[in-house]
Homo-oligomer: A and B are copies of this chain.
């Protein structure tokens, strides 16, 4: 039995209770510090968030050696833990209306080893926990957040394998998501063997975020960009490991409702701007191959009735023939050989068809390009330990990385976007990568280490894009979409996408994984995302022979109808994979689905507006609207699309029916109007082209939904202007 000496004097209970009005939400927040016989607990609005006892100290401090190796954006942590000390004894150093300062010690020792200040600044609604280790050499601390057995935990940024994070540990480190992501599949095994452990794991993601969101109605966020591990595998506490012992800062807030909780976090973390209007008019078609091919694809699509809002040409910079096949030439300039007259065609497409052309960029420059040479000459690329330009292996070529911590380099790269991209009329781009910054042997302009900045890189990259667009006066017209992210991304990015899914029906890396990805990103504060229709990564080698089937393409497309953005990708093996243009039947089916997407836009715009104004994500976990339904917390593969839809995409092969859960209320089956009263488990017919979807019977959008559901292949849809904006009607 462990009894802290210091707290014995306080064997009686001292309750300090002060109520405050929150400035952000105008709700009273009650901060409660309660001393118990063996420690203390701290609650916010009645939600216990911190608890300390001699058996379970709130704070551990320690020291370790961390060896990090990297290969193509995958990172491997080899840890040797030297020390980990539980600070079971404590003394209250000061207690004011707005803060408690607590000194922590080991039980046997009088030495003060850490000081934690828990405060509720008057200007903020949330608790701030600031911890500093005063002990001899330490480089990490573990903060225990109070937990309950039946609590669910979500967030962690974009998580592909598990929406409910409980029961597992999640390292927060931006990196490639991995190919396969499930160590028990043959695919992941083979990728690991032949590509240096590039198979990934359940937690590997481009967009991790040190934020979680508890079913006990609080969120918790670790500030800063250092490596964090969030361990939710314990019954009575969540343990947050932080690699910062001088100024670790953790924020916690509560809200009366789950919905307000997301809002409260986005109040703090920021929210994206609205999507451009044009993006709702139809699909952005991922096409490649030059000006004429782009136009040919467009003509073929519209001739078949597809609604097209954009043409995304990732190879606008030209291509590089490497030993591994075609790759984009990462030298961010219009390639006039491959794309003659592109600037003129962009103008014409926008003017004549409201069709927008999008490009591609990332923060790395091929060392063979003149941009790299210019940047290296000016000292704008990340340097190596010898102070020369760092050249990173990207598979079949080497790149320099623009030093985003160098204000001059930052401005210069913005000017590249403004001049080379916006300047030729591009209305958007994939702002790819952001995860590859090496940790060791890199010298950054601002003096920070690679380990400190690594997780911040995606945010700097988003900020750069944002400023470029703003400075060009194109906010609201241009959209860039990113995969890498962190806290702050929501504030700087315009749109996310789910990265590189395999072209398969796997849970961990296929179409299914895009659902928890959207939901976890949503509760982490970024409510606008979408995915590559059809997935990206094909592995056409035996024994896997993984290529995109027409079925996967169509299942993926039908799911995209109920997301904010519908964008196709040819994938990494365009010729071997099914494409929207592969055959007339696929074109016809895409025509119907893109019409549905387009006609639904009035509803979609409302959802986007909710993201922008309140942070409520477009794709939502059921518990945001059904917080009292226990089942709502356990659902990973269906979501609410706005307040009115329950969407349960078919993500397995060869399905003719699909099971889903409906919470309380009256629900209308989208495809035939059947009414079901929830809560209910239902099985519905799910032929290709009919995503299992229900809508609320009291939705104000019933007529629109019926219009969308009724669209058949071959129907013509036309725009009708109304007082509420454009609507569309469709008829055979």
Task: Give me the interface of A with B, judged by CB distance under 8 Å.
Answer: 2, 60, 62, 80-86, 106-111, 113, 135-137, 184, 186, 189, 192-193, 233-234, 543
Instruction: Give Cα distance in the complex from A184 to B107, angstroms.
Output: 46
Instruction: Give the 8 A-B CB pairs with smallest separation, nearest first.
Output: A109-B109, A108-B111, A84-B84, A189-B189, A108-B109, A83-B86, A2-B136, A85-B85
Instruction: Give Cα distance in the complex from A85 to B138, angstroms.
Output: 12
On chain B, the residues within 8 Å of A137 by CB distance are 2
Instruction: Give Cα distance in the complex from A107 to B113, angstroms.
Output: 11
Residue of B nearest to A233 (CB): B80
**How near does chain B come to A143, taking the closest CB pair, in angstroms?**
15
11 A-B contacts, Cβ less than 8 Å apart? A2-B137, A60-B83, A62-B84, A80-B233, A81-B84, A106-B106, A108-B111, A108-B113, A109-B109, A186-B189, A189-B189
Instruction: Give Cα distance in the complex from A111 to B107, angstroms.
Output: 9
Instruction: Give Cα distance in the complex from A135 to B107, angstroms.
Output: 10
On chain B, the residues within 8 Å of A189 by CB distance are 186, 189
Instruction: Give Cα distance in the complex from A13 to B337, angstroms.
Output: 79
Establish whether residues B86 and A84, one from each chain, have CB atoms under 8 Å apart when the complex forms.
no
**How near does chain B come to A59, taking the closest CB pair, in angstroms?**
12
9 A-B pairs besides A2-B136, A107-B136, A108-B110 with CB distance below 8 A are A81-B84, A82-B84, A84-B85, A106-B109, A108-B109, A108-B113, A184-B192, A184-B193, A189-B189
**How near does chain B come to A148, taking the closest CB pair, in angstroms?**
19
On chain B, the residues within 8 Å of A107 by CB distance are 136
On chain B, the residues within 8 Å of A2 by CB distance are 136-137
Most buried by B among A2, A60, A83, A234: A83
Instruction: Give Cα distance in the complex from A649 to B589, angstroms.
Output: 65
On chain B, the residues within 8 Å of A106 by CB distance are 106, 108-109
Residue of B nearest to A185 (CB): B193
Instruction: Give Cα distance in the complex from A650 to B295, angstroms.
Output: 65
On chain B, the residues within 8 Å of A80 by CB distance are 233-234
**How near does chain B come to A112, taking the closest CB pair, in angstroms?**
9
Instruction: Give Cα distance in the complex from A192 to B186, angstroms.
Output: 11
Instruction: Give Cα distance in the complex from A658 to B189, angstroms.
Output: 32
- A86-B81 contact given A2-B136, A106-B108, A135-B108, CB 8 Å threshold: no
Instruction: Give Cα distance in the complex from A106 to B186, angstroms.
Output: 49
On chain B, the residues within 8 Å of A62 by CB distance are 84
**How near does chain B come to A108, taking the closest CB pair, in angstroms?**
3
Establish whether residues B81 and A81, one from each chain, have CB atoms under 8 Å apart when the complex forms.
yes
Most buried by B among A108, A137, A193: A108
Establish whether residues A83 and B84, one from each chain, have CB atoms under 8 Å apart when the complex forms.
yes
**How near does chain B come to A276, taking the closest CB pair, in angstroms?**
47
Establish whether residues B136 and A108, one from each chain, have CB atoms under 8 Å apart when the complex forms.
yes
**How near does chain B come to A655, taking the closest CB pair, in angstroms?**
25
On chain B, the residues within 8 Å of A233 by CB distance are 80
Instruction: Give Cα distance in the complex from A111 to B106, angstroms.
Output: 10
Residue of B nearest to A231 (CB): B80
Establish whether residues B85 and A83, one from each chain, have CB atoms under 8 Å apart when the complex forms.
yes
Instruction: Give Cα distance in the complex from A80 to B192, angstroms.
Output: 27
On chain B, the residues within 8 Å of A193 by CB distance are 184
Instruction: Give Cα distance in the complex from A193 to B190, angstroms.
Output: 14
**How near does chain B come to A711, taking the closest CB pair, in angstroms?**
44
Residue of B nearest to A62 (CB): B84
Instruction: Give Cα distance in the complex from A543 to B542, angstroms.
Output: 13
Instruction: Give Cα distance in the complex from A108 to B136, angstroms.
Output: 8
Instruction: Give Cα distance in the complex from A111 to B81, angstroms.
Output: 23
Instruction: Give Cα distance in the complex from A137 to B2, angstroms.
Output: 7
